[in-house]
Amino acid sequence: MVQINPESLNRVREVLKKNPRGLNIQAIAAQCGINRMSVAKYLEILTANGIVEVQTVGNAKVYFLSRQIPVTTYMEYTSKHYCITDDKLNVVQLNEWIPRTVGMQYEDFIGRPLPDVLSGVVVNMDECRAAMEKALAGEVTTIVVEENFKGKHLFFEMLHMPVQFPDGSHGMMAVSQDITDKKKLEIALREEGDRLRDLVEHMPDIVFATDPAGVLSYISSRIAGYHFDPDGCCGRPFGDLAVPEDRKAAMAGLLAACDEKTPRRFRLRAAVPDGREVWFEATVAARWDDSAACTTIHGSLREVQGGEETGRKKTAKKM
Report the C-alpha gap between 10 and 291 in whole angstroms.
60
Q: What pLDDT, on the 0 to 100 scale, is given for residue 203?
A: 74
Q: What pLDDT, on the 0 to 100 scale, is given for residue 51?
A: 81
Whether 171 shows a pLDDT value over 80: the answer reads yes
User: Max alpha carbon distance in the chain (Å)?
Assistant: 125
Q: Is residue 300 helix, strand or coil? A: strand
> What confidence tens digit (pLDDT) does each residue in 249-288 have?
999 999 998 887 788 899 999 878 777 789 999 999 998 8
Q: What pLDDT, on the 0 to 100 scale, is given for residue 59?
A: 83
Inter-helix orientation angle 25-32/6-18, to 10°:
110
Report the C-alpha gap between 158 and 128 in whole angstroms.
9
Q: What's the mean pLDDT in 49-60?
A: 83
Whether 81 shows a pLDDT value over 60: the answer reads yes
Report the C-alpha gap between 145 and 157 in whole angstroms.
6
The tally of CA atoms less than 13 A away on the side-chain side of residue 15 is 24
Q: What pLDDT, on the 0 to 100 scale, is given for residue 67?
A: 67
Q: How confident is the model at residue 56 (pLDDT cuts 50, 70, 90)?
A: confident
Whether 303 shows a pLDDT value over 60: the answer reads yes
Report the C-alpha gap between 240 and 273 in whole angstroms.
12
Superfamily grouping for domain 200-306: PAS domain (3.30.450.20)
> What confidence tens digit (pLDDT) does each residue in 180-220 have?
888 888 877 777 767 776 666 667 889 999 999 999 999 98
pTM of the predicted protein model:
0.48
Q: Which residues contact 249 (CB under 8 A, 6 or more apart)?
A: 242, 266, 268
Whether 237 shows a pLDDT value over 90: the answer reads yes
In the chain, which ranges are continuous DSSP H helix?
A: 6-18, 25-32, 36-48, 71-75, 97-102, 114-118, 125-136, 180-201, 230-233, 247-259
Domain extent listing, the chain:
6-65, 71-183, 200-306
Same topology for domains 71-183 and 200-306, yes or no?
yes
User: The domain 6-65 is classified under which CATH number: 1.10.10.10, 2.60.120.10, 3.90.1150.10, 1.25.40.10?
Assistant: 1.10.10.10
Q: Is residue 297 helix, strand or coil? A: strand
Q: What's the mean pLDDT in 104-133?
A: 87
Q: How confident is the model at residue 172 (pLDDT cuts 50, 70, 90)?
A: very high
Q: Which fold has domain 71-183?
A: Beta-Lactamase (3.30.450)
The mean of the pLDDT values for the chain is: 83
Q: Is residue 308 helix, strand or coil? A: strand
